[in-house]
Amino acid sequence: MICPKLDELETDTLDPTRIEMVSNGTWAGVIAMNLQVHVSCGPCNLMVEVDMNKQPPDGKAIGVAFRCGECGRLGGTIISGKPAPHRV
């Protein structure tokens, strides 16, 4: 498990039947689901959108905590869907 043979690893990666769904809990998953993440700080009245392209794709997006750069408090994380085109 620790040292998989390189040949096997490549075969696994290229076999489309073995590609797993991106975990919803990672940044890659959040991006794939077209969600956006904001961090708010009540005392500072701040609301900042997280630049997900700067986050590690495999990193946990759900439950992550951001700290306010102004006051140092932990901000509230808000995950929302991007506005979709209106469908009739």
41 binds Zn ion per the rule CB under 5 A: yes
SS (H, E, C) 6-42: HHHHHHHHHCHHHCCCCCCCEHHHHHHCCEEEEEEEC
- Look up residue 77 and give its two tokens: 């994380």
Stretch that binds Zn ion, among 13-21, 25-33, 66-74, 76-84 (CB under 5 A): 66-74
User: Which of 9, 44, 47, 78 forms a contact with Zn ion (CB under 5 A)?
Assistant: 44
Number of residues near Zn ion (by CB under 5 A): 5
Q: Site residues (CB under 5 A) for Zn ion?
A: 41, 44, 68, 70-71
